[in-house]
Structure 1
Amino acid sequence: MEGGISSSPTTRIAVVTGGNKGIGFEVCRQLAGNGVTVVLTARDEARGAAAVEKLRELGLSDVLFHQLDIADAPSIARLADFLKNCFGRLDILVNNAAIAGVELIDDPSFGPKPTVEKFSGMDDHKRVEWMSKNCRQIYDAAKQGLQTNYYGTKQVTEALLPLLLSSSDGRIVNVTSGFGLLRFFRSEELKQELNDVVRLTEERLHELLAAFLKDFEAGALEVSGWPTEFSAYKVAKAAMNAHSRVLARRHPALRVNCVDPGYVRTDMTRNSGLLTPEEGGAKVVAVALLPEGGPTGAFFDGVEEASFV
């Protein structure tokens, strides 16, 4: 479903990937509440349209849906054409869509989708430990994790870059994770290479990701210095963080930043998170709406700038 919205030249236009639920839905709601015209995107048309209808019932009329699968090039191209024809520019891109990169399994004591109450009294470490015990790291899921979380995000960004550059204040907000910090890499060489954004190239990033998958398949993650738990998710987010910094250097007119919304209760975390989607979404929106001329190439731990390491 695509709705027709007439927006004035001064109204900011935002695209949010994975906007039909969880953090993405909250980002859409809060951006729209701040006077931004929001294009909510999702893979599933029915769920995306339902999310837009829910927002409109809340009185947020400047929201419309457009189908987007960030791992599908034709889908990305259709979105880019739609934005060009409707608005001629894009002011804010929030890259939120992501997958876990693991095969989830059900804990028989909790059921297929645990309730929030099941985690009462558990700190964040125990919750992450529960998540680790209730998933399997398999090659196909790891490969798909990289394809979606890094390559898919990168493809969307590249396709929409001309529209962002047409804005007077274009900005990209990549929703990352504390799991993407370089401290989870055992290899100092890998850490240094991913942190050296002056020398790092996209080609080298692709070589490193190919090496990761090769090591994953060979069972050599630990010996090669890669993260060993939630490895594909951590590597993809670290790569996305690095690419964000490369992009920020290449396009100084844009604001390109990464933000960790925290450990949020979503489908991906099986409701094990400590924060509500509203709380996590607020952190993303705060970075999306930073004053003009603010930082670029930065990592935000919530609303505070922090180290990528």
Structure 2
Amino acid sequence: MKKALITGANKSIGFEAARQLLQRGYYVYLGSRDAQKGQQAVEQLHATGYPQVELLQLDVADKASVAAAREALGRKTDVLDVLINNAGISGGMPQPALTTSVSVIKEVYETNVFGVIEVTQAFIDLLQKSPEPRIVNVTSGLGSLTLHTDPSWKYYPVKGAAYAPSKAALNAYTIMLAYELRDTAFKVNAVDPGYTATDFNHHSGPGSVSDAAARLVRAATLGPDGPTSQFFSDDNAPETGISPW
């Protein structure tokens, strides 16, 4: 049975991605900063017929928490097949470039960039023991520098000095990571789940959580001939599924 770790999986897209992987027969470690909320999510999945899921308390912005989670998981398994770096924060909107506090920008980066790096580096040894390891970094179309400079892009006016640059930085890290692992069985990709109706955006998005999660799961379950070092976005590139960086 393949094993997956999803950060920020106690609700919304992360929770649905866990459910979809469970449907595919994976064992899921449900990462949650809040242990109580995470356990409630696990119990909800158990109640709907999915026993192969358990909580892993994990605050990606806390180095000690990441280390403790790695130690805890190491006592349960010596291999991890999938890591979905899903946890993220927006930092609140609007975020004008001239007035957004550096402290807000740092806070967003702590979760959206440095948290991903901390988690990836902490769990990479378990992933390296998998015959087909997959890393999915959950990004946003707002992380595309190319699209942000295109006035015809539908989201061109949606700018933010903290969130969008954090996702651009995450995209860059994804490229660097994929390059470093290029001669291995790893598939490392960034996935934009699309503008989805969740509490992250006050349910303003038109997309469904189910469709968004399916995009993550698709990248997490790529076959050996699947692509790596790609920026998947059905929302911004409906014809090809590949977004410009």
The TM-score bracket by the shorter chain reads 0.7 to 0.9
**Alignment match, 2:88:** 98
8 Å CA contact retained: 2:82, 2:220 = yes
TM-score, length of structure 2 as denominator length:
0.88
8 Å CA contact retained: 1:298, 1:305 = no
8 Å CA contact retained: 1:83, 1:90 = no
What percent identity do the matched residue pairs reach? 40
CA distance in 2, matches of 1:90, 1:293: 20
Deviations 1:115-145 (A, max 9, x none): xxxxxxxxxxxxxxxx789xx9443222200
**Alignment match, 2:72:** 82
CA distance in 1, matches of 2:66, 2:173: 19
CA distance in 1, matches of 2:196, 2:101: 24
**Alignment match, 1:262:** 194
3-state secondary structure, aligned to 1:231: coil
TM-score, length of structure 1 as denominator length:
0.70
CA distance in 2, matches of 1:45, 1:251: 33
Deviations 1:47-68 (A, max 9, x none): 0000000011110110000100
1:166 Cα deviation after fit: 1.1
Between the two proteins, the alignment pairs up a number of residues equal to 230
CA distance in 2, matches of 1:144, 1:166: 33
Aligned AA for 1:236?
A: S
Structural mapping, 1:112-151, within 5 Å: 137-151=100-114
**Pairing 1:68–2:58 present:** yes
**Which of 269, 276, 293 does residue 208 from structure 2 map onto?**
276
Bigger drift between 233-242 and 289-298 goes to 289-298
1:185 Cα deviation after fit: 5.5
Aligned AA for 1:152?
A: G
Structure 1: gaps (5+ residues):
1-10, 105-130, 187-226
CA RMSD of aligned residues (A): 2.0
**Alignment match, 2:42:** 52
8 Å CA contact retained: 2:191, 2:232 = yes
8 Å CA contact retained: 2:142, 2:148 = no
CA distance in 2, matches of 1:244, 1:149: 12
**Which of 8, 14, 39 does residue 18 from structure 1 map onto?**
8
1:300 Cα deviation after fit: 0.8
Spell out structure 1 runs of 4+ moving beyond 4 A: none
CA distance in 2, matches of 1:293, 1:70: 31
Structure 2: gaps (5+ residues):
150-156
CA distance in 1, matches of 2:244, 2:161: 17
**Pairing 1:307–2:243 present:** yes
Q: Which one has the bigger helix percentage?
A: 1
CA change 1:288–1:39 in 2 (3 A) is same
8 Å CA contact retained: 2:13, 2:209 = yes
3-state secondary structure, aligned to 1:274: coil
**Pairing 1:230–2:160 present:** yes
